[in-house]
Amino acid sequence: MKENNAPKTIRLADYKAPNYLIDTVHLDVRIYDEYTDVVAHLTVRANPQVPNASAQPLELVGADLELLAIEIDGEAVSSERYQIDEETLTISNVPAQFSLLTMTRINPKTNTSLEGLYVSKGMYCTQCEAEGFRKITYYLDRPDVMAKFTTRVEADKQAYPVLLSNGNPEERGDLDNGRHYVIWEDPFKKPCYLFALVAGDLSVVEDSFVTTSSREVKLQLYVEPHDLDKCDHAMDSLKRSMAWDEEVYGREYDLDIYMVVAVSHFNMGAMENKGLNIFNTSCVLANAKTTTDMGFQRVESVIAHEYFHNWSGNRVTCRDWFQLSLKEGFTVFRDQQFSADMGSATVNRIDDVNLLKTVQFAEDSGPMSHPIRPDSYIEINNFYTTTVYEKGAEVVRMIHRLLGKDGFRKGSDLYFERHDGQAVTCDDFVKAMEDANGVDLSLFRRWYSQAGTPQLTVTADYRADQQQFSLTFEQITLPTPGQPEKLPLHIPVAIGLLGPDGQDLPLQLVDGATVDPANPILELKAAKETFVFTGIKEKPVASVLRGFSAPVKLCFEQTRDELAFLMSNDNDGFNRWNAAQRLTVAVLCDLMQAYEAQQPLSVDPQLMAAFRSLLTDESLDQAMVAKMLELPTEQFLAELLPKPVQVDAIHHAREGLKKSLAEGLRSELEQVMDRCPLDAEYRYEVDVVARRSLRNTCLGYLMSIADDRATEHCVQQYHQATNMTDQLAAFRSLVHSDRQEKQRIIADFYDQWQAEALVVDQWFMVQASSPQRDTLEQVNGLMKHPAFEMTNPNKIRALIGAFCNNNPVNFHRLDGAGYGFLADQIITLNKLNPQVASRMATIMTRWANYDKVRADLIKAQLKRIKTEKLSPDVYEVVTKALNQ
Ligand code: B3K
Ligand code: ZN
């Protein structure tokens, strides 16, 4: 039943082209201490594609605006002719073509939603995607309305010497009263979600890039003065992204200037505004002293991601927000390809798949499950999800796999050529891929409309007498909200069959077909299919779903011997790692059983032996060794294993395994630590990163013993480390242990780094994810720490987010205190920053995965939240969570 005042649901099926179009926008933004005035000159015309459009009133959207003036073609509009309500300005009897002037007043200083125009540490900045432009002026705030923007920004010159907007600076000058202005012109038509403006006192780092066609592009990074020493890596990553996009996709940058601005208060990672990217400081600043290798990696990939949007998102944009994955899925795929080319491709793939399996699979089996192209939403900001982004990227990756590298490039060339300057749909993307390659992807399109993770069950059968080996695949997708019936999907399964020597056998099917050795995939299209291979002289070991060629849950029973064999022989790096994971999970399941039965934990010697050979064989790729030694996280296991989630058994089995491995392999672990000494000088290069990661994995194991010797080593590393990767690894191991030394180290770390906001975030995060039993009490204390700020999303993610997401055993405390804590924070954030509040609320949507006691406690908190006056963001999540 629909409740009173329930926010309304928007549906893809109701999409209609706009009645009016806007060709040009002249914005004049005047920043004053108390308020900001925005004068907007729009040239508007009825949409020729819509019959009778000019007979309709013009409906502009606006939020939190005070309208000061309104004119059409230079004449004031009388008050009978227009109407204003909470969200719209409706003007009746407008001409078929006219110029509209509005003047509105806004208050960026009180805007804590970080959407629209707001202030972060004294700097004015904007965030307009998805629907923030309506908080700046009345507009047709939808992506299929594309206009040419000219923006004049005016402010006090001393307080705001830097005034930026999209495009090229055309004019600047001084005004009376110590004020000044700059006029920016963006020659490309764009939807308003790509609009940006910055006013502040910022320092700049400059460089340049010469494009394929010899145009010189000025590159600028704007940061606070004390961050000037953290810009090199982002600048370097930007230049590499520009070169890569020219080489791999034939895409050149189009303006003469590319600016990136770093801000401390930002709801997500970064934003691809045309020519003026705005970045969370955490995704742009990096240097050895303050940033871990993971941080460096993140900067590289986010810089690339936002840069790649210039083509996949800005030049070709989305028709409506249901098509979000058109730009996000494709751009994530592009940034993943880039990172794979820059570093270790296999390690990158493993990390991406882990995220998908941990977060996206969980989302897709819960009440927020949606297709990568959703059918409906209440609040679009709730749909910037791992499904739209990461599963969206997997869907593009499958197209790449099906068409091959060259076919995919032909398709992307056609897509960019056909749709440059347009706002299009996911279907247009698939159509370009089809047309360029002469293929039919009609069945494949189901990936766009069907939600849920398919389960793919594989059974193998070997007939020695016929020298035949068969693989039978059965796919099934469980119902998701609003989609009770599911259809089979087109699934590319990359495979190999390993002979006794560990080499791949030639793949010959009984029907005479061969599997392309250059692209060995089986294409599934039905609910159940069998493939029979001939000429197989001995029983092979199958390596299925190599490279994780499709986002499915694979159920394939293989023996521990087979897994160990794959672990050392598979020529597919991803599956070699995956075999190690599967073997580890099998052992963890033994230990969970033992834990539940209150029996002593004993580790399968096969795993011990496998890990020993990983540690001692120096010929192996060290990055891979580090990855294979990493135990699956508790969150990963919670998603993977049968429900209800055995929170405590998972935690204790994992801790127990870690400790047993450390005790059994102590000398090998110590030898690796000796073999990988601390670096005198930091370099961010694949082999050095691998060495650090291996060393710190070993340190983590040894610290699970936490005796005097291990602790002494750890404290020593903490003090001697010359970079944040090594210092933080030691810090984390100490803080997560029960050693007394940690109190001194926690204080010491803060003393050393209190001036570096991003390092303080790490300090919060490490403490909030400690498995020690008093962590919630510690977190409650830290909420009152002077460095904690409820209006800064980075701080919220570091403390509240880390506790609730990365600390299952404490968050899911049986007394429900963790849930009560989260609900309190959601209630506070709902008023301050609905987007961040609703992100936090998604954690509570998974109550059905837990035992009755915990599920009831979570539901009680959801109900408590529901009694508040909720933002649409939180309302949507909480209602869907309760109605599942
Ligand atoms: N496009 C932005 C995300 C905007 C999120 C709005 N709630 C960043 C990105 O994906 O590149
Ligand atoms: Zn993006």
Q: Where are the alpha helices (DSSP H) in 420-527?
A: 426-437, 446-449
**Model confidence pLDDT, tens digit, residues 54-113:** 999 999 999 999 999 999 999 999 999 999 999 999 999 999 999 999 999 999 999 999
Say if ligand 1 is within 6 A of residue 504 CB.
no
pLDDT-wise least confident of 354-363, 474-483, 511-520, 723-732 = 511-520
Query: How high is the pLDDT of residue 3?
Result: 57
Q: Please report, as a single letter, which amino acid is at residue 65.
A: L
Residue 844 has pLDDT above 60, yes or no: yes
CA atoms within 13 A on the CB side of 157: 11
Dihedral angle computed from the Cα positions of residues 816, 821, 823 and 824, in that order, rounded to the nearest 10 degrees: 140
Residues in the chain: 884
Atom of ligand 1 minimally distant from the CA of 309 = 11
Residue 2 has pLDDT above 80, yes or no: no
Nearest listed ligand to the Cα of residue 312: 2
DSSP codes of every residue in 316-365: BEESSGGGHHHHHHHHHHHHHHHHHHHS-HHHHHHHHHHHIIIIIHHHHT
Nearest listed ligand to the Cα of residue 326: 2
Cα separation of the two ends of the chain: 14
Nearest listed ligand to the Cα of residue 194: 1
Residue 88, both tokens:
């719209």
Q: Please report, as a single letter, which amino acid is at residue 44.
A: V
Residue nearest to atom 3 of ligand 1 (CA): 271
SS3 683: coil
Residue 863, both tokens:
């109900």
Cβ–Cβ < 8 Å for 219, 276: no
- 254 Cα: distance to centroid of ligand 2 (angstroms): 19
**Model confidence pLDDT, tens digit, residues 65-80:** 999 999 999 999 999 9
CB within 8 Å of 194: residues ≥ 6 apart = 128, 129, 166, 272, 273, 274, 314, 317
Nearest listed ligand to the Cα of residue 327: 2
Share of the chain above pLDDT 90, in %: 99
CB within 8 Å of 32: residues ≥ 6 apart = none
Per-residue confidence at 6, pLDDT binned at 50, 70, 90?
Answer: confident
Cβ–Cβ < 8 Å for 191, 146: yes
Task: Please state the rounded mean pLDDT for residues 387-407.
Answer: 99
Per-residue confidence at 184, pLDDT binned at 50, 70, 90?
Answer: very high
Atom of ligand 1 minimally distant from the CA of 835 = 7
User: Could you say which DSSP state residue 633 is in?
Assistant: P
Q: How far apart are CA 121 and CA 125, in angstroms?
A: 10
Say if ligand 1 is within 6 A of residue 651 CB.
no
Q: Which of 114, 134, 268 to mutate to test the pocket of ligand 1 (most atoms within 8 A of CB)?
A: 268
Cβ–Cβ < 8 Å for 321, 143: yes
- 667 Cα: distance to centroid of ligand 2 (angstroms): 46
Say if ligand 1 is within 6 A of residue 328 CB.
yes
Query: How high is the pLDDT of residue 531?
Result: 98
**Model confidence pLDDT, tens digit, residues 340-374:** 999 999 999 999 999 999 999 999 999 999 999 99
Say if ligand 1 is within 6 A of residue 268 CB.
yes
Q: Which of 118, 127, 128, 129 to mutate to test the pocket of ligand 1 (most atoms within 8 A of CB)?
A: 129
Query: How high is the pLDDT of residue 625?
Result: 97
Q: What is the pTM of this model?
A: 0.99
Whole-number average pLDDT of the chain = 98
- 611 Cα: distance to centroid of ligand 1 (angstroms): 41
Query: How high is the pLDDT of residue 422?
Result: 98
Q: How far apart are CA 378 and CA 363, in angstroms?
A: 17
Q: Which residues of 778-788 are buried (b: 16+ CB within 10 A; e: fewer)?
A: bbeebbeeebb
- Give CA angle at 697 (694, 702), nearest 5°: 125
Q: Which of 135, 194, 272, 386 to mutate to test the pocket of ligand 1 (most atoms within 8 A of CB)?
A: 272
**Model confidence pLDDT, tens digit, residues 607-665:** 999 999 999 999 999 999 999 999 999 999 999 999 999 999 999 999 999 999 999 99
**Model confidence pLDDT, tens digit, residues 704-756:** 999 999 999 999 999 999 999 999 999 999 999 999 999 999 999 999 999 99
Residue 300 has pLDDT above 90, yes or no: yes
**Model confidence pLDDT, tens digit, residues 199-239:** 999 999 999 999 999 999 999 999 999 999 999 999 999 99
DSSP codes of every residue in 161-224: -EEEESSEEEEEEE-GGGEEEEEEE--S-B-GGG--EEEE--EEEEEEEE-TT--EEEEEEEE-
Catalytic, 789? Answer: no
- 196 Cα: distance to centroid of ligand 1 (angstroms): 13
- H or E segment to which residue 760 belongs: helix 757-768
> Is the Cα torsion angle 861, 862, 865, 866 positive or negative in sign?
negative
Residue nearest to atom 2 of ligand 1 (CA): 271
Residue 426, both tokens:
């996911």
- Residue 522, Cβ neighbours under 10 Å: how many? 18
Residue 477, both tokens:
């997708």
Q: Which of 128, 384, 387, 871 to mutate to test the pocket of ligand 1 (most atoms within 8 A of CB)?
A: 384
Residue nearest to atom 5 of ligand 1 (CA): 129
Residue 270 has pLDDT above 50, yes or no: yes
Q: How far apart are CA 583 and CA 589, in angstroms?
A: 10
Atom of ligand 1 minimally distant from the CA of 272 = 11
Say if ligand 1 is within 6 A of residue 545 CB.
no
Residue 312 has pLDDT above 60, yes or no: yes
Single out the residue of 416, 36, 393, 100 nearest to residue 246, CA to CA.
416
CB within 8 Å of 245: residues ≥ 6 apart = 251, 252, 307, 308, 311, 334
Query: How high is the pLDDT of residue 4?
Result: 56
Say if ligand 1 is within 6 A of residue 306 CB.
yes
Catalytic residue among 154, 224, 300, 306: 306
Residue 797 has pLDDT above 60, yes or no: yes
Residue nearest to atom 8 of ligand 1 (CA): 271
Task: Please state the rounded mean pLDDT for residues 673-697.
Answer: 97
Atom of ligand 1 minimally distant from the CA of 130 = 6
Single out the residue of 195, 198, 31, 194 nearest to residue 109, CA to CA.
31
CB within 8 Å of 856: residues ≥ 6 apart = none
Q: How far apart are CA 313 and CA 334, in angstroms?
A: 12
